[in-house]
Structure 1
């Protein structure tokens, strides 16, 4: 059972950078780039209940702001159970977290994100 609830200090700067880059891209009107940063933050934080839930909250807000009914409806169950799945260690590794992908499907982790985990001393498998 995974009892880690908060993001390790070694991952926090990378997680925060993705959220900051999301906000910058969103404010600039680059919604594709903004969404990509949310997905990256999701992959980095998905094993940790608070970070995982927070990213789904941001994705839900994004869905409302962009008037995407599909994203809003898709994020509600993810928001409700994502953190629980993290707490018990049952997350699909590499899943980007959007409503456009199956919620329990694993995906390959991009090389630059794998490098982040290596630098932070975190295993990805």
Structure 2
């Protein structure tokens, strides 16, 4: 079994870009873009416990901002399970992390993120 402790240094800038873009969208009150960047950050971070947990925390806070009981409840569950499952590499690949989909459902990874993963793997 593979244990994931830290996000690889080469992957961090892609994750951090999504977080920065999320914050910009939040400042501009662009809700669709807020979730777009949070979900992309989740896909990138989901294999690494700490960044994965941080994304779910941001999603929980967004759920509170939107007064969405469904998102709040879903993120509380995801916060308790996401980090430990990342640590043991038992995650549904490509899952966006929000309550739009089941937390156990693998999803297709967006082409640009898949390309980035492939390029980093080959370096």
Given the two structures, how large is their TM-score scaled by the length of structure 1?
0.94
1:24-63 → structure 2 map (5 Å cutoff): 24-63=24-63
Greater Cα shift, 60-69 or 17-26: 60-69
1:89 Cα offset (Å): 1.1
Gaps of 5+ in 2: none
Query: Unmatched 5+ residue regions in structure 1?
Result: none
CA RMSD of aligned residues (A): 1.0
Query: When the two structures are aligned, how many residues end up with a matched partner?
Result: 122
2:102 equivalent in structure 1: 102
Q: Which position in structure 2 is the counterpart of 1:19?
A: 19
TM-score where L is the length of structure 2: 0.95
The answer on whether the counterparts of 2:47 and 2:86 sit within 8 Å (CA) in structure 1 is yes
Q: CA deviation at 1:118?
A: 1.9
